[in-house]
Structure 1
Amino acid sequence: MSDTEYFDFFKGIVDSEEGPIVICNLDYRIVYANPAANTYYSTVSPLEGKLLESLMDEEMMSKVVMSVEWFKEDKKNNKVYALHDSKHNVDMYILAIRKHNEKLIGFYGRREDRNPDRGRQFDLD
C-alpha cells in the first residue's frame, strides 16, 4: 500500500469520528482537526495552523505541556485524562502519537462518551 493510500485510510478514520479530534505537532501547532472538531470548536475554527496557546488559557496550556513532557519520559506513557465536559457528558483525553520506532512525533485530543445511550451496539436506524 502506498503512503497516499495509507493517508486516505487514516484520514477517513479520523474524519468519520463523531467526536472532535485535534492533532498537534511537538511545537503545539494544530496540524489537523477533523470535521467534528471544527464544529465543536466553531468559535475558533478553522483550527489548522493555530498554536494551542492562542486557544487555551495559561493553566490548561500548562497541563498540556506537562502531558507531552510525560509522554517523552517513557514510550509506555501514552494517554492522559484531560477534563470532563459536563455539557456534552464526555471525557476529553490527550494521547501520544509515535512513529513505528516509538519516537514521539505529536499528540492529539479526543473524547470518550460517558453516556451509554449514545453508543448503542449495532444501532442501524
Structure 2
Amino acid sequence: MELSKYFQSIIEQDRCAIVICNLEHKIIYMNPAAASRYVKSGGAELVGNSLLNCHNAQSREQIEKVISWFKENKEHNIIYTFHNEKENKDVYMVALRDEDGTLIGYYEKHEYRNAEKEELYHY
C-alpha cells in the first residue's frame, strides 16, 4: 500500500473536522468529522465550493492575510487563529506544501483542550 493511503486513513479517522483547500480556496476534501460538523451548511456537498463562501468579509480578509504570510517564507506553516470558548478548543490554519516547499494549499486544525472521558483501553 502506498504511503498516501496511510495519510488518508489518519485524516479520515480523526475526530476533529479537517477541511483541505487549494490556493483558490476551493474545498478539495472534507473528512467524515467535517462533513458531519458542517452538515447544516451542506456537509460533504461543500467539496468543490469556495471556503470563502462560508465566511464573512472580515474572516475572508484574515484568510487572505494568512495565505500571504504562508507564501512569504517556507518556515511560515501554522498560525493560531481562534479559541472557541464553548467547545474549549484552539483553531489553527496550517500550510500544505509540496516536496520542494511550494505552498499548495491549507487546512484548519482544531485542538480540543478537554480531558478525555473515555476509560483507558476501553474496547
Give the TM-score normalised by the residue count of structure 2.
0.90
Percent of matched pairs sharing the same residue: 34
1:87 Cα offset (Å): 2.1
1:10-38 Cα distance to aligned partner (Å, 9 max, x none): 11011111101110000001000111111
1:66-118 Cα distance to aligned partner (Å, 9 max, x none): 11110000000000111112221111110000111000000011101112x13
What is the one-letter code of the residue matched to 2:61?
Answer: S
Paired position in structure 1 for 2:103:
104
What is the one-letter code of the residue matched to 1:9?
Answer: Y
Paired position in structure 2 for 1:51:
50
Distance 1:81 1:119, change over 3 A: farther
Among candidates 12, 16, 20, match of residue 17 of structure 2: 20
1:47-77 Cα distance to aligned partner (Å, 9 max, x none): 2111012111111111111111100000000
Matches within 5 A, 1:14-93: 14-44=11-41, 45-46=43-44, 47-93=46-92
What is the one-letter code of the residue matched to 1:8?
Answer: K
Q: Distance in 2 between matches of 1:21 and 1:60?
A: 18
Number of residue equivalences? 120
What is the one-letter code of the residue matched to 2:38?
Answer: Y
Paired position in structure 1 for 2:116:
118
1:119 Cα offset (Å): 7.8
RMSD across aligned C-alpha pairs, in angstroms? 1.7
Secondary structure of residue in 1 paired with 2:4 = helix
Give the TM-score normalised by the residue count of structure 1.
0.88
Q: Distance in 2 between matches of 1:86 and 1:118?
A: 17
Q: Which runs of 5+ in 1 are unaligned?
A: none
1:123 Cα offset (Å): 2.5
